[in-house]
Structures are given as C-alpha cells and as structure tokens.
Amino acid sequence: MSLSILFIIINILLWKHTSSYSNQGKSITINDITICTITDDPLFEVIDWVKHHKSIGFNIMMYYNGEIKDSDFEYFDALMLMSVGIKIVPLKGIFHQIDYYIDCQKEITTMKMFPLDTDEYLTINNRNKFINLINKYDQLCMNWMMCESTNRILFKETAVCEPNVHVKSIFNVTCSELTNSHYCSSLNKYNTNEQIIEELTLNIDDEIYINHYHKKSNLHWLNKVKKGRIFDITPKLESFRRYDSRITKFSKEFHVEI
C-alpha cells in the first residue's frame, strides 16, 4: 500500500471519529452539519474556502477530483489539521457530481448535510436565527448572491453581487430523494423567511445568504456558455459582462470555439 493511500485512509478514519454525532435529546448546532463538496480546484486554492466554513463551525467532507502532486501533501496536512475528510476521485470516466453527494450522504455521521461548491461561500450575519431555522425545519434553502468571479471571499467587500432565485440547502441526512445539488426533493423546502417554496423564488435576506462566484476563469465561463448552463442563471447574457473586468471583447469571446 502506497503512503498516499495510507494517508487518505487514516484521514477518513480520523475525520469520522471527530465528526460523529448523536441527536438524542439535543438541539442541532452548526457543528452537527457536514458540508459535502466535490472540487477540481488546486488544493492551495480551497484552503481559504475551508477556513471560512470551518470558522463558522461546519464539518467538511471533500471529494477531490484533481491531479495529486508531491507538493499537494502540505495542503493535505493542513486540511487534516482542520479535520477535513478527503476522498480522492478518479479522473477517468464520466463525472456525475450527484453520485458523490449520495456517497457523502452515506459516509457522514451528522444529522444534516449541506452540498456546497468551492466557489460558494455561506454568510451568516444572524447566528441565532440560523440555529433556530436548522432546528425548526428538515430543509433550509438559502438563496444565492451572484458575485463577480474575480473577487472571491478575500475581496468580497468590493465584489458586485446580485440576488438570484437559485438556492443551496441544508437538509436531514435521511433525505430519500437526493437528485440534484440544490435541494432534497423529498423534503419540504423552507427559505430563510420561513416560507415554504414550491418553485425557486427570489428571497432577499441580508442575514443568511450564499455568495456564488459563478466562474473561476474566462475559459470556465465560456464553457458554461457553450453548454447552455448559463441560461439557468440569468436570461440576459449581457449582464455577465460586468461580473468580470477581464471580459473586454464580449461578442467575439462568446463565439469562441473551445
């Protein structure tokens, strides 16, 4: 057995031990929620994302879909010191994000899970309200704030952000229909204003929201355009021009073949 494989096995065992939870007669706290994420970002780029959510109190289970280099092990060490569980995802084959969320659902030992990407940052400005909501509802849906991509968490005070109808949700791990990364289909969806939602609707809340930096680079943005996924975010492509100051030749770049 290679040292790298042994390292990952030890890491998972330690993570399961530190994140174990019993809900018998106990109110749920943030530490009783596990963020499940799948990323292909270089490990050094996700450290700040991990620090941000660990500082709030979440457990984190990470599926890493990237090339492992010798230099990465210092970041593995840093993540293990922060009690982050890591699984290495094979690069070959068809990639289905939801498959790893379902695997995470089976792996974690907390009562609630929170699928979240590494370009999404949860902001909680009213902790008491948040704790009350996650105890009151089986599923809490939090709206996105779409933010310009060149400014992640370290520069969020200067980022241009707009409310969006899309949500990410914290829900009971017993969810029986986990079919997408946004919410559990078998549970009622409540927003942070305690309204049950059947369809995705705009819910402006400056106390609990998710900053979503919707692309990592120009190439990433163009790939989204090419796949048509960008229309899920906004009906007006022109509005994306101001999200990134590096996009200076919009019409030409939109038609680039990738």
For the chain, give the mean pLDDT.
76
Pick the more confident residue, 234 or 188: 188
**Beta carbons of 225 and 247 less than 8 angstroms apart:** no
pLDDT, mean of residues 91-111: 82
**Beta carbons of 184 and 175 less than 8 angstroms apart:** yes
What does the alpha-carbon distance between residue 121 and residue 103 come to, in Å, rounded to a whole number?
22
Lowest mean pLDDT among 31-35, 44-48, 80-84, 157-161: 157-161
Overall pTM surpassing 0.85 (yes/no):
no
What does the alpha-carbon distance between residue 124 and residue 213 come to, in Å, rounded to a whole number?
17
Residue for token pair 């031990």: 17
pLDDT, mean of residues 66-87: 85
Tell me, what's the pLDDT at 73? Answer: 84
Structure tokens, 184: 């559990």
How many other C-beta atoms can be found within 10 angstroms of the C-beta atom of residue 117?
19
In the chain, the domains with their CATH numbers are 1-118 (3.40.50)
Alpha-carbon torsion (237, 243, 248, 253), positive or negative? negative
Tell me, what's the pLDDT at 213? Answer: 75
What does the alpha-carbon distance between residue 175 and residue 138 come to, in Å, rounded to a whole number?
9
Tell me, what's the pLDDT at 66? Answer: 73
pLDDT band (50, 70, 90) for residue 219: low
Say yes or no to pLDDT of 115 above 60. Answer: yes
pLDDT band (50, 70, 90) for residue 233: very low
Say yes or no to pLDDT of 198 above 60. Answer: yes
pLDDT band (50, 70, 90) for residue 236: very low
What does the alpha-carbon distance between residue 204 and residue 5 come to, in Å, rounded to a whole number?
45
Say yes or no to pLDDT of 224 above 80. Answer: no
What does the alpha-carbon distance between residue 62 and residue 49 come to, in Å, rounded to a whole number?
12
Tell me, what's the pLDDT at 24? Answer: 47
Tell me, what's the pLDDT at 230? Answer: 47
Structure tokens, 181: 């990364």
Contacts of 220 (CB under 8 A, 6+ apart): none
Say yes or no to pLDDT of 248 above 60. Answer: no
Tell me, what's the pLDDT at 40? Answer: 81
Tell me, what's the pLDDT at 208? Answer: 95
Lowest mean pLDDT among 9-13, 78-82, 123-127, 202-206: 9-13
Say yes or no to pLDDT of 246 above 60. Answer: no
How many other C-beta atoms can be found within 10 angstroms of the C-beta atom of residue 251?
6
What does the alpha-carbon distance between residue 166 and residue 156 come to, in Å, rounded to a whole number?
20
pLDDT, mean of residues 183-196: 95
pLDDT, mean of residues 62-78: 83
Q: Which amino acid is at 41?
A: D
Give the closest residue to 112 by CA, choosing from 29, 50, 37. 29
Strands (E), 130-187: 139-147, 161-172
